Amino acid sequence: MRDMFVRQIFATAVSFGGSVVLARVLNPSEFGTYAIATFAVNIFMVLGDLGLGAAFIQNSKSPDDKYLQISFTIQLVLVTTVVALTWMLAPWIVGFYSSVSPQTVWLIRVMSFLLYLPVLRSGSTIQLERSLRYRPIAWSEGIGISLYQIIAVICALKGLGVWSFVFATLVSGLTGLVIVYRSAPWPVGLCFDWCEIRRVLRQGISFQSAALLDVFSQWAIPAIAGTLAGPTAVGYLGLALANAKRPLFLAESVTRVSFPHFSRLRTDIGELHNAINDYLVGLLWVMFAWTGLLWTSGSPLVMLIYSAK
């Protein structure tokens, strides 16, 4: 748990520093174009990983190699379908945004291939989270975030514009994949046991409904502001939302740590209640403090850190 919190503090500092440099180098419209392209790719990934990761983590029985291969097969088929749809429908999607550049079509198509990275690392991540081995995950994400910011800044300074985010995502994703796979290797392969696939899907989808609400909330800015006001408005709103939601990044790390922990406490309701209460109270204090800081000092901080642009 300590490793994940240290990673989150480190990642927040690095991300903030990188975002300051990028906000000064890139135009808001470039941030907005990237957000629109990300939305266009992820719109087909509304079901995410179909809840398979959460189902395997909560299950009382450790997933064997066959189950990991079944999960990999399901996600690989899903992502390949999404990539095919994205390549075909990218021009049609971009048509809804009158002020984006023509290169956005190819930006969306290239970004769709990045969806394979989380699929390839899912088997290792499931094993590590289930066994509460968070140090390799913390290392992979900490190094990945650092590489992302460094490469994005270098590419932006070289004049690559919105493509800076794509190169940064590719390099950081591959690096994180290598780290977690070396820590928790598994026989990558396909498994088409249809009876087991149906059973695994039934378990996973029951965990996915809650995640859908979070996905839909993230779509509001690129879907509505993007079509009505263009990529520049999306860039401003996205930057504001990212800073407003920084405490939620801590909550995400806490959730990842606490979910396997809570699963172990299912048989002790009293202890489970106390653990959940402690997590919630701690997170609420952090969120209240951050909200107070933004309300009292938001405007001068924006001018000081991000400049008038």
**pTM score:** 0.73
CA distance 8 to 159: 30
Question: 179, 136 in Cβ contact below 8 A?
Answer: yes
Residue 189 has pLDDT above 80, yes or no: yes
Q: In the prediction, which pLDDT does 263 show?
A: 64
| Structural domain count, the chain | 1
Q: Which residue has the higher pLDDT, 30 or 154?
A: 154
Q: In the prediction, which pLDDT does 219 show?
A: 65
Question: 104, 161 in Cβ contact below 8 A?
Answer: no
125: Cβ contacts below 8 Å, ≥ 6 apart: 53, 137, 180, 184
What is the share, in percent, of the chain residues with pLDDT greater than 70?
A: 73
CA distance 108 to 44: 12
With the CA atoms of 38, 43, 44 and 46 taken in that order, what torsion angle do they form, in degrees rounded to the nearest 10? 120
Dihedrals phi, psi of 184, to nearest 5 degrees: -140, 75
Q: Domain containing 193: what range?
A: 2-306
Question: 62, 219 in Cβ contact below 8 A?
Answer: no
Residue 60's pLDDT band, with cuts at 50, 70 and 90, is low
Q: What is the DSSP letter of 1?
A: -
Q: Which residue has the higher pLDDT, 129 or 218?
A: 129
Q: In the prediction, which pLDDT does 56 show?
A: 61
Residue 170's pLDDT band, with cuts at 50, 70 and 90, is very high
Token output for 144: 């990945």
150: Cβ contacts below 8 Å, ≥ 6 apart: 18
133: Cβ contacts below 8 Å, ≥ 6 apart: 127, 183, 184
Q: How many Cβ atoms sit within 10 Å of the Cβ of residue 99?
A: 14
